[in-house]
Structures are given as C-alpha cells and as structure tokens.
Amino acid sequence: MKCPFCRSEEGKVLDSRPDPEGKSIRRRRECSSCGRKWRTLERVEDEMPLVIKKNATYQPFDREKLLGSMSVACGKRPVTFAQLEKIIADIEWDLLSSSVGAVESTVLGEKIMSALKQVDEIAYIRYASVYRRFKDAEELISEMRGLIDEETREPGLSS
C-alpha cells in the first residue's frame, strides 16, 4: 500500500484489529520512508444492490449519502460518528447477506429510522420528518405520540 503522505510503497502494518462481528479490519500502518503513521479500514467489498427510488429509477447504493442524511438528523445530538458508521455497516451487511439485486429506497429508509429510534429519538423524529414528508405539525405530533406510547407500554402487556 502506498503511503498517503510521501507515496512510497515501503511500509508495514503495525497492528490489525478485526471488528467484533468480523465485518471489517482496522489496521495501523507506518511508512518506512517518511516514518508517518496512518490507519486503514478494510471492509468486505461485494456488489451492493442497486437502490430503487420512489420514481422507479435505479441508483447505486451510496453509503456516503446515507451517512450524510443521518449526520444531518443527528446534528447537535449525543450520537457519535462511530454509532452512525455501525448503523450503516449493519445495513450493508444485511443487504449483502440477503443477496438481492435491488432494494427499494423505502426499505433503506425504514431500516435507518428503526436504527435511529434505538440510538436517539430526536434524531429519529428529525429523519422521519424529512423522510416521511410530514404535511403539517399534526402528522409530526402523531408520530411523536406513537413514540411516547411505545415507551410507556410495559413489557409483556398487550394493549
């Protein structure tokens, strides 16, 4: 691997750490020429399914686009970049495991909302308000009531 600083091909791996689920490997590297250190992240690269948009067009899966939209929803919230990366990695892994050729954007949106709901409810509401295109405050309030109702239900009891 070329050094990103001096472009030398002389380098070594100092440390390798697989993630707990075995989906990626993080490596610390050092350039033998300039002595600088950097990290790389290696993920399984496979053919991601195409995304079927609401207008019936197809687009390549774009993890950066998902990360960007989630970052906006999580702005000024106690959600770390690592949490967002994990959500996207889990979604990618689910898609790769399912071996589908295409996935509807609505399925991706629901997966993101489900994950955000577990991480931060305000981020979930922000994402849902854009994704579901609430027409007015009443639709937003209705979504928030549903979230509150989920929290107040006691486990094991049906309503």
What is the reported pLDDT for 157? 46
Give, as one character, the DSSP assignment of residue 153.
S
Q: Give pLDDT tens digits for 78-89.
A: 999 999 999 998
- For the entire predicted model, the pTM comes to 0.64
Q: Which amino acid is at 143?
A: E
Distance of CA 52 to the CA centre of its chain: 18
* Distance (Å, whole) CA 157 – CA 69: 36
18-22, 34-38, 51-55, range with the lowest pLDDT:
18-22
The DSSP-derived string for 44-55 is ----PPEEE-TT
Locus of tokens 């609505």: 106
pLDDT tier at 158, thresholds 50, 70, 90: very low
* Distance (Å, whole) CA 46 – CA 67: 19
Residue 16, strand partner residues: 27
- Are residues 20 and 8 in contact, defined by beta-carbon separation less than 8 angstroms? no
Locus of tokens 């390798």: 16
Q: Give pLDDT tens digits for 1-22.
A: 899 999 999 999 999 888 777 7
